[in-house]
Amino acid sequence: MLIRISLILAILAALSAGVVNFVFVKDKITTLTTDRNTQRDGRISAESERDQTKKDLAKTQNDLKQTQDQLADANSERDKAVATADAQSKRADDLSDKLAKVSQERDDAQNSLAAYTATGIKAEDVGKLSRDLKDAQDAIEVGNEEKVVLVRTITRLTNELAEITGTGDYVVKLPADLKGKILVVDPKWDFVVLNIGEDQGVLQDGELLVSRDGKLVAKVVVRTIEKDRCIANIVPGWKLGEVFEGDEVSPAHPAT
């Protein structure tokens, strides 16, 4: 009997321990299951947030690219507008200048017309006055040319007279602004041909200095004169170097 009671007590104790263990294990499983579900839900939520973030980032990048493209287009349109405005401004300035010039010409024409009207000259007299004015201008021009020729003749005769009656110290003075170049050089006979002549004021026996790069090369004296050229001999003792075509010449004794 005692053994049966002990056996029953042992069974009851085992059952109690099993119940306690089952309850503990069940609670542990429940806790683990809850933690697993929480972690799974958190992971799913994080993945969803990550995917949404990627979508938002892609959309933001696309919006940024569109904004940059729109900004580039806006800058291009702005540059075109500025260039157009500058061109229009320049055109307006040009038109203003032209308008001012035309207005000035109009005012000058009106003033000229008023001055002409004030003279009381008739229209039929204008042609005659123009012809008379042109004839007078032609006569003055001919007179000036004759004056130049007369002055050159007087100078030449004066030089010849001085050479005949003088002591030999007289020098022929040439125009101070006379400039020329050597066209031809004859080294055998020591003469040169110059590209200046009577029309430029060259006179018989006039002396010219030959230079190259600002350095004196020789001195020549004019012997033969033509309309636009002359022939000159190299003065003995004044040949400091070889004379070449293209060398420059200027008066040795310029007139003041």
Q: Which pair of tokens denotes residue 199?
A: 């029309």
Output the CA torsion 89→90→94→96 (10° steps): 20
In a domain, 75, yes or no: yes
> Do 136 and 92 reside in the same domain of the chain?
no
**Among 235, 215, 231, CA closest to 223:** 231
What single string gives the DSSP state of each residue in 205-247? Answer: T-EEEEEETTEEEEEEEEEEE-SS-EEEEEPTT---S---TT-
In the predicted structure, residue 177 carries a pLDDT above the cut 90: yes
For 65-84, the pLDDT digits (tens) are: 888 888 888 788 778 877 77
Question: In terms of domains, do 63 and 147 share one?
Answer: no
Q: Are 200 and 177 in contact (CB under 8 A)?
A: no
256 within domain boundaries: no
Does residue 96 surpass a pLDDT of 90?
A: no
Q: Domain check: are 2 and 40 in the same one?
A: yes
Tell me the CATH number at 194.
2.40.10
Does 98 lie in the same domain as 141?
no
8, pLDDT greater than 80: no
Could you say which DSSP state residue 198 is in?
Answer: G
Is 114 found in the same domain as 72? yes
- 32: domain range? 1-120
139 and 56 in a single domain? The answer is no
> What is the arithmetic mean of pLDDT over 51-64?
83
Number of domains in the chain: 3
Instruction: At 129, list the tokens.
Output: 């006055």
